[in-house]
């Protein structure tokens, strides 16, 4: 049976990057997508509707008033697409969308459509950084609208900074991912951990790791878009809650342990993915007040003596901290996993596959994703990573890819095991 051709509605707003929408349109067409274009009146001043009409071989919508023979224009436009992509999106349009303002055909259609919306912003760096723009983006994200972040670069106004439209290849690829997304995790429940934990030794100091949380957040967001009921247990990080994901924020490994066990017992997840960088140890005691060198925390070795609060020494003083082991969340859930498909991570700095395989067996997981965290280009707090997917059937190298793409790779594997 032939599959129906997908339609993208491409929204073009008034911005110098409007000409790049022509290239996005071309890339989508090459992937056999039918592209229709809707423009704001100022968008039509940068690139004429005639250009988009010729390229798309479809009528281009600019005016909000329909003629007597067509159905109400914004409603018919809103019903047609599988995805509504707005690229480039100006600060003006972004702020209007967040406020629900519908004062032209593009913004009216955005309000009326039930299709997933993707926005690729492009603007001056100060407009991008303006609190109202950032707040509007947060509102849109919280409604499940995907934002393709602009790049840092030389802007048309002469400034250098964030605001340059993402590459046309990236915009087209992210749109195609949305178009082809399947709902293969519908009816499934997933438990995911993300980010670092913090193990406090006094009110202001803690043991932690550089995990940004990005890996777990991307997996959680993608699993939810594929239909899963997702519980994300997250350590402290800067990222906003992913749309449609039950996000539980914790601080310490013990809190993560308690939250994971509670979700495991109450929700009976079909899969559990442990991407968090959990601290293996915590200080044996947490001081109520900030520890003072030399008094609360005496030097334990004589490589030098601290002199009072300044800590000035002729040689370095050595301090000791008593640590106790944190509960191993992955291990303990793996021991009672039943039908739940359990995926753990292994952060390694050498012998990635060997050490990862040892963790697969030691923890009792179904799969371990081993990654090299000694490479500053991948691993902690980076956009990309390279995974070794390890299971009893061997090792599979994903090569270096964006963490977003890797989230899709992992969920394909998980879906094939739990469906």
Which residues are designated catalytic?
157
Separation CA 419–CA 411 (nearest Å): 12
> Shortest Cβ distance from residue 207 to ligand PMT (Å)?
12
Measured CA to CA in angstroms, residue 215 lies from 192, 193, 197, 256 at distances of 10, 10, 15, 17
> Shortest Cβ distance from residue 374 to ligand PMT (Å)?
11
Nearer to ligand PMT, 41 or 408 (CB): 408
Nearer to ligand PMT, 80 or 280 (CB): 280
Unique residue bearing structure tokens 């957040």:
217
Tell me the CA end-to-end span of the chain in Å, nearest whole number: 24
> Shortest Cβ distance from residue 283 to ligand PMT (Å)?
15
> Shortest Cβ distance from residue 139 to ligand PMT (Å)?
25
- Closest alpha carbon to 7 in 105, 100, 96, 79: 79
Nearer to ligand PMT, 329 or 340 (CB): 329
Separation CA 195–CA 287 (nearest Å): 25
Answer whether 282's CB lies under 8 Å from 323's CB: yes
Neighbouring residues of 340: CB distance < 8 A, sequence distance ≥ 6: 264, 268, 269, 270, 271, 272, 333
> Shortest Cβ distance from residue 383 to ligand PMT (Å)?
9
Nearer to ligand PMT, 128 or 217 (CB): 217
> Shortest Cβ distance from residue 355 to ligand PMT (Å)?
8
Nearer to ligand PMT, 296 or 397 (CB): 397
Neighbouring residues of 286: CB distance < 8 A, sequence distance ≥ 6: 200, 201, 202
Neighbouring residues of 106: CB distance < 8 A, sequence distance ≥ 6: 11, 12, 13, 38, 39, 40, 43, 86, 93
Nearer to ligand PMT, 48 or 375 (CB): 375
Dihedral sign (CA 156, 157, 161, 165): negative
Parallel/antiparallel/unpaired status of strands 318-319 and 323-325: unpaired
Q: Which stretches of the chain bind ligand PMT, using CB under 6 A?
A: 193, 211-215, 253, 274-278, 280, 326, 328-330, 344-347, 359, 371, 373, 379-381, 403
């Amino acid at each position: 049976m032939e599959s129906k051709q997908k339609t993208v509605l491409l929204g073009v707003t008034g911005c110098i990057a409007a000409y790049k929408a022509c290239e996005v349109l071309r890339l989508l067409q090459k992937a056999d997508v039918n592209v229709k274009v809707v423009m704001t009146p100022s968008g039509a001043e940068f690139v004429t509707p005639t250009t988009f009409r010729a390229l798309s071989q479809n009528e281009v919508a600019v005016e909000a008033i329909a003629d007597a023979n067509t159905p109400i224009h914004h409603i018919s436009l809103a019903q047609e697409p599988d995805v509504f992509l707005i690229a480039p999106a100006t600060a003006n349009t972004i702020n209007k969308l967040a406020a629900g303002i519908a004062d032209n055909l593009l913004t009216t259609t955005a309000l009326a459509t039930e299709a997933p919306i993707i926005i690729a912003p492009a603007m001056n760096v100060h407009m991008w950084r303006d609190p109202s723009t950032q707040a509007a983006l947060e509102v849109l994200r919280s409604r499940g609208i995907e934002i393709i972040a602009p790049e840092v670069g030389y802007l048309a106004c002469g400034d250098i900074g964030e605001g340059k439209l993402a590459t046309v290849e990236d915009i087209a690829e992210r749109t195609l991912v949305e178009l082809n997304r399947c709902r293969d995790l519908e009816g499934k429940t997933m438990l995911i951990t993300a980010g670092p934990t913090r193990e406090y030794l006094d009110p202001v100091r803690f043991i932690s790791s550089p995990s940004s949380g990005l890996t777990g957040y991307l997996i959680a967001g993608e699993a939810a878009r594929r239909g899963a009921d997702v519980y994300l247990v997250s350590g402290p990080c800067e990222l906003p809650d992913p749309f449609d994901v039950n996000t539980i924020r914790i601080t310490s490994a013990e809190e993560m342990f308690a939250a994971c066990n509670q979700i495991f017992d109450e929700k009976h997840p079909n899969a559990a993915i442990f991407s968090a960088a959990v601290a293996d140890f915590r200080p044996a005691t947490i001081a109520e007040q900030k520890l003072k060198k030399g008094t609360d925390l005496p030097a334990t070795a004589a490589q030098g003596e601290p002199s009072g609060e300044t800590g000035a020494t002729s040689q370095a003083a050595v301090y000791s901290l008593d640590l106790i082991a944190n509960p191993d969340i992955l291990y303990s859930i793996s021991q009672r996993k039943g039908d739940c498909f359990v995926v753990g991570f292994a952060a390694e700095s050498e012998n990635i596959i060997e050490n990862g395989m040892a963790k697969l067996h030691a923890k009792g997981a179904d799969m371990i994703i081993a990654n090299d965290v000694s490479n500053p280009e991948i691993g902690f707090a980076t956009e990309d990573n390279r995974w070794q997917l390890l299971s009893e059937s061997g090792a599979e190298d994903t090569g270096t890819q964006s963490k977003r793409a890797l989230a899709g790779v992992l969920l394909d594997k998980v879906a094939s095991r739990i469906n």
